[in-house]
Amino acid sequence: MIKAIVGANWGDEGKGKITDMLAEEADIIVRFQGGANAGHTIVNNYGKFALHTLPSGVFYNHTTSVIGNGVALNIPVLFKELQDVVSKGVPMPKLLVSDRAQMVMPYHILFDQYEEERLAGKSFGSTKSGIAPFYSDKYAKTGFQVQELFDEAALKEKLNSVCTVKNVLLEHLYHKPALDTEEIFKELMEYKKMVEPFVCDTSLFLWDAIKEGKQILLEGQLGTLKDTDHGIYPMVTSSSTLAAYGAIGAGVPPYEIKEIVTVSKAYSSAVGAGAFVSEIFGEEADELRRRGGDGGEYGATTGRPRRMGWYDCVASKYGCRLQGTTQVAFTVLDVLGYLEEIPVCVGYEIDGKITTEFPTTTQLEKAKPILKVLPGWESDIRGIKNYEELPENCRKYVEFIEKQIGFPITMVSNGPGREDIIYRSR
Ligand code: GDP
């Protein structure tokens, strides 16, 4: 059985924590898209970890972690993470890397930086991890799959051909030094050494696992609103963040994805540029940012302060719908305990008209939030295990949002740890 864990919003919804928690019951955890440009923060018995490439299941002995073919694989980053995890006392994870996964090349990172420089003030707010140049090359068929490391002659030839094109851009568009293909080849041979023990046909491994009745989790990165097609294009990421893409990025039958757990945070945060209708500013935002998440809302990869906002029912309803949500995990609810009143965005006003459906980007830029103010519960809800024990206003907040988004909230997360979870029946 396959369960996908994905985000309803702009990312940073707490997917890492939910995956880490659900991994207890799972056999295999698969990353199927994205790269080292975003991270999950996980707090467990071993400490606090920011994972960018490794799946969130690496902390368990009983699970196998899979890097699927859909991932933008940055091999040195993966190995640094692996070393970091092991150095903090976590047993060496069982790791498999798809032979069809493509590699982030050293020049992808350079091109990402140079393009951001070129765009200057009009940039997308990229994390400069090389993700956009990587996926551009993948679909232009000039990318490199892991398996290509194992045919050195062919690799050299292709590298020369690809670098010829790159060098024209470097010289004439960016005015930067040309690439040294010998140097890159040597680096790739280092990558080969690092990755070789883990490479296999992961889709076959997963196919066999499905037949054996294993429990498989697909772990998404970012959220619906950053999806290339359905997100706030062009302020999106360069891979699909949807559960449906899990079938492709892991190489499994779509009909095997039986559960789609969509994670949505009790307030909003976003990184990078783009419309963010329920955004708040000033002291109000600073306070929520300071208190948010576990130690503040700052990017796990970049340390950048996140943009903050109230819960957005319009965006989340859309985010859940596009994911094909079967259940919602509602996270970081404990953080709102300091507020006397909590505004929630229940509609958008666009050119004088009110809508509860998430519009295209041009319309979205014009949208103004319609806020409904709910009473806060003004207490600490951490440690509570039963839904009925939550303060009445807190339950009302959850149930109001559940009604607005139209998908069942089956889990409420009230702290960063694995055990900080309240289950509700559907
Ligand atoms: P992800 O990328 O979706 O996994 O999200 P992040 O890891 O970037 O952000 C979630 C942050 O919130 C992390 O610091 C988590 O430790 C923390 N977190 C997750 N769930 C909860 C929760 O219910 N309460 C609190 N206070 N923090 C949480």
Chain CA centroid to CA 95, Å = 20
In which region does residue 296 sit, left (phi positive, over 0), alpha (psi from -120 to 50) or beta (all else)? Answer: left
Q: Where do the structural domains in the chain lie, given as residue ranges?
A: 2-86+203-423, 102-197
As a whole number of angstroms, the distance between CA 313 and CA 116 comes to: 32
Predicted local confidence at residue 57, as pLDDT: 81
pLDDT in the model for residue 299: 76
Predicted confidence at residue 58, as pLDDT, reads 87
Tens of pLDDT, residues 46-90: 888 888 889 888 888 899 999 999 999 999 999 999 999 999 999
For residue 274 and ligand 1, the question of a CB distance below 6 A is answered with no
Please, what is the average pLDDT of the chain? 94
Q: Which two tokens stand for residue 9?
A: 């919003």
pLDDT at 300: 67
CA dist 337 and 283 (Å) reads: 17
Binding site membership of 148 for ligand 1 (Cβ less than 6 Å): no
Question: Is the pLDDT at 239 greater than 80, yes or no?
Answer: yes
Burial of 259 (C-beta count, 10 Å sphere; 0-12/13-18/19+): middle
413 touches ligand 1 (CB under 6 Å): yes
Q: Is 293 in the pocket of ligand 1 (CB under 6 A)?
A: yes
CB atoms within 10 A of CB 350: 17
First CA to last CA distance, the chain: 19
Is the CB of 17 within 6 Å of ligand 1?
Answer: yes
DSSP state of 145: B
Task: Name the residue among 247, 412, 418, 229 with its Cα closest to residue 335.
Answer: 412
Say what the pLDDT of residue 328 is: 98
Rounded CA Rg of the chain = 22
Q: What is the pLDDT of residue 322?
A: 98
Residue with CA nearest ligand 1 atom 6: 12
Strands (DSSP E) found in 172-211: 199-200
Per-residue pLDDT at 37 exceeds 90: no
CATH architecture of 102-197: Orthogonal Bundle (1.10)
Residue 391 has pLDDT above 80, yes or no: yes
* Mean pLDDT within 314-327: 98
Tokens of 333: 């609810």
Q: Do 59 and 70 touch, CB atoms closer than 8 A?
A: no
pLDDT bracket for residue 125 (50, 70, 90): low
Alpha helices in 240-312 (DSSP H): 243-250, 282-291
**Ligand 1 pocket member 331 (CB < 6 A):** yes
pLDDT greater at residue 43 or residue 113: 113
Query: At residue 178, does pLDDT exceed 90?
Result: yes
User: Is the pLDDT at 301 greater than 80, yes or no?
Assistant: no
Pocket test for ligand 1, best of 31, 41, 222, 288 (most atoms within 8 A of CB): 41
Domain spanning 2-86+203-423: which CATH class is it, in words?
A: alpha beta
Phi first, then psi: what are they for 36, rounded to 5°?
Answer: -90, 20
Q: If pLDDT is split at 50, 70 and 90, which confidence band does 15 have?
A: very high
Q: Are 232 and 125 in contact (CB under 8 A)?
A: no
- pLDDT tens digits, residue range 251-289? 999 999 999 999 999 999 998 889 999 999 999 999 999
Output the CA 204–ligand 1 centroid distance in Å. Answer: 33
Least confident among 110-119, 166-175, 373-382: 110-119
pLDDT at 49: 84
Is 223's C-beta closer than 6 angstroms to any atom of ligand 1? Answer: no
**Residue (of 5, 20, 13) closest to 418 by Cα position:** 20
399: enclosing H helix or E strand: helix 392-405
How far apart are the CA of 403 and the centre of ligand 1, in A? 24
Tell me how far apart the 2 most distant CA atoms of the chain are, in Å: 68
Residue 426 pLDDT greater than 70, yes or no: no
pLDDT at 342 over 80: yes
CA 13 to ligand 1: nearest atom: 3
Query: What is the per-residue pLDDT for 414?
Result: 97
Which of 307, 332, 411, 423 best tests ligand 1's pocket when mutated (most atoms within 8 Å of CB)? Answer: 332
Does ligand 1 come within 6 angstroms of the Cβ of 332? yes
The answer to whether the beta carbons of residues 44 and 81 sit under 8 Å apart is no
Q: Cβ-count burial of 151 within 10 angstroms (0-12 exposed, 13-18 middle, 19+ buried)?
A: exposed
Indicate if the pLDDT at residue 344 is higher than 90: yes
Q: Which of 5, 265, 294, 422 to probe ligand 1 with, by most ligand atoms within 8 A of CB?
A: 294
359 upstream amide cis, omega within 30 of 0? no
Are the C-beta atoms of residues 72 and 32 closer than 8 Å to each other?
no
Amino acid at 199: V
Please report, to the nearest 10 degrees, the dihedral formed by the alpha carbons of residues 218, 223, 224, 230 taken in order: -100
Residues known to be catalytic = 12, 40
Residue type, 294: D
In ligand 1, the atom with minimum distance to the C-alpha of 7 is 3
Cβ–ligand 1 distance for 12 under 6 Å, the answer: yes
Which atom in ligand 1 lies closest to the alpha carbon of residue 48? 16
The SS3 call for residue 41 is strand
Q: Which of 347, 363, 366 is nearest to 233 (CA)?
A: 363
* Mean pLDDT, residues 322-340 taken together: 98
Best CA proximity match to 260, nearest among 191, 343, 348, 321: 321
Residue nearest atom 20 in ligand 1 by C-alpha distance:
416
Cα separation, 13 vs 72, in Å, equals 21
Closest residue CA from atom 11 of ligand 1: 293
